[in-house]
Amino acid sequence: MAELHQTPTSLCCCRKSLPVSGGRFAGDSNRPSVGPGPQDPRCPLVDVASASNFRFFQLQHFHLDLRLNFAVKEMSGWLVLDLVPVHPAVCTLVLDSHPSLLIHSIDCKVPEDRRDEPVSLTYRLDPFTEYGSSLSISLPPDAVKPGRLIQITVRYTTTDGPAIWWLDSELTCGQSRPLVFTQGHSVCNRSFFPCFDTPAVKTKRSCPVPQLHRPACFSCSSAPPSCMFQLCLSSTVLHVSAVPQCDIVFLPPSFPIVAMENPCLTFIIASILESSEFLLIDVIHEIAHGWFGNAVTNATWEEMWLSEGLATYAQRRITTEAYGEAFTCLETVVRLDALHRQLRLLGDNNPVSKLQVKFEPGVNPSTLMNLFTYEKGFCFVSYLSELCGDVQRFDGFLRVRHDEDKISTGLRDHLTFGLVVPPDVVGRGGLNSVSLSPDLVVGLGADLWSVSSSCLHSGTLGV
């Protein structure tokens, strides 16, 4: 346990490292203090990976308007946040930011006031963790009222932040155009734009899209979290789709992970094309994230297994229906074997073998992503499916949960397993919501795996 909570690695989830010293802003460096920060008791940190006071506001929409300069590898533009305060005493807006962002100005406008000129706001940048900083913005007292819409505009420039990857044309396949793409998972998008960088906040967003013949605007009608907002641009050619189809962009080997389920446009590393089987599994897994991960989202990064475990279960249900039980069983057994091998390397009592790992402040959530997040999460969901006794009925329950939770943008302070276990299953065989939480979520080792592995051969899970 002590080793887990020592000073974390200097590399974040996208393998870039920048020193953190608060941040930068244009103009006067002596900004005034701006009230309660993220450590203030009025601003409770539910998500320890976020400096923001997201619980004080409802984010209804954000609009990002950027200009890209490939010559100097720089993005500049503005971000517009449509916010509704939900707390009567709030006087400060705190956003997640990063030292790579150069803040030029911040202003506020109240649409119902119909004023021509927005009000310029003061702000302060402070260190938060090695992967980000906090941007504290003083709000005008006469404009901030609970339930009243305000628009915050942040004008800024960003260059080589951890979320942004610039490639010269020589490093691309055609070697004819330069390329830039972003990767925000888990906590990197705060270096792309100031935001509530937490999965607890989900909102609709829009962004102008440069095209050769006519301007267009990309608008995402769903409401994924901030880490799922990505950009991929090659010189003047940009492809973004807002229709319900599976669009994929294959990225160079510098892409820091295998695949990412961005809404409307999945990012996949090009090296996976060498194996059609791995490509098939990964594409289906990212499609499954459209239901679990993007639509139904874990509230904090401690609950990442809710996204990956449910998505892995859905992925294997899809492959079972499409390619048969043998295909899914083989892939599952291989992954569970890898999980056991990882456990032998780490030790039975290693805290990362928990289904839900406790994050300490300052620890980058991406450093704790491993096979346990995926496979132990899958085993837990499979275990519930076995208890249900009918895989089709359990599928129906998951569909209901998806439909009920997909539009939620709030944070659940405590996820009870009443959200996961069908009511009539609770209590079956001595199972109840009280015994589920301590034993299966925070327990160490492989107690649950043997149960789920035996289910693979029973036919009750459909895998």
CB 98 within 8 A of CB 23: yes
Q: Active-site residue 112, yes or no?
A: no
Q: Active-site residue 156, yes or no?
A: no
Compute the distance between CA of residue 43 and CA of residue 126 in angstroms, rounded to an integer: 16
Annotated catalytic residue within 123, 131, 156, 374 = 374
From the list 430, 228, 429, 408, the residue with the least C-alpha distance to 419 is 408
| Residues contacting residue 226 through CB under 8 Å, at least 6 positions apart | 184, 189, 195, 196, 197, 198, 201
**Is 285 assigned to a binding site?**
yes
* CB neighbour class for 120 (10 Å; exposed up to 12, middle 13-18, buried from 19): exposed
**Is 274 assigned to a binding site?**
no
Per DSSP, the chain holds a count of helices (H) and strands (E) of 8, 18
Annotated catalytic residue within 286, 302, 331, 375 = 286
Instruction: Please report, for residues 90, 416, 420, 431, 434, the alpha-carbon distance to residue 437 in angstroms, rounded to integers and kept in the order given.
Output: 35, 8, 11, 11, 6
* CB neighbour class for 58 (10 Å; exposed up to 12, middle 13-18, buried from 19): middle
| CA 427, chain centre distance (Å) | 34
From the list 254, 200, 260, the residue with the least C-alpha distance to 229 is 260
Compute the distance between CA of residue 260 and CA of residue 15 in angstroms, rounded to an integer: 15
From the list 414, 409, 301, the residue with the least C-alpha distance to 84 is 409
CB 204 within 8 A of CB 145: no
Instruction: Please report, for residues 48, 50, 91, 360, 361, the alpha-carbon distance to residue 45 in angstroms, rounded to integers and kept in the order given.
Output: 6, 7, 17, 12, 10
From the list 233, 220, 223, 151, the residue with the least C-alpha distance to 192 is 233
* Residue 241 CB neighbour total at 10 angstroms: 12
User: CA angle at residue 454 from 450 to 455, to 5 degrees?
Assistant: 120
β-strand partners of 164? 182
Amino acid at 176: S
CB 69 within 8 A of CB 131: no
Catalytic residue numbers, as ranges: 286, 374
Which positions make up the binding site for Zn(2+)?
Answer: 285, 289, 308
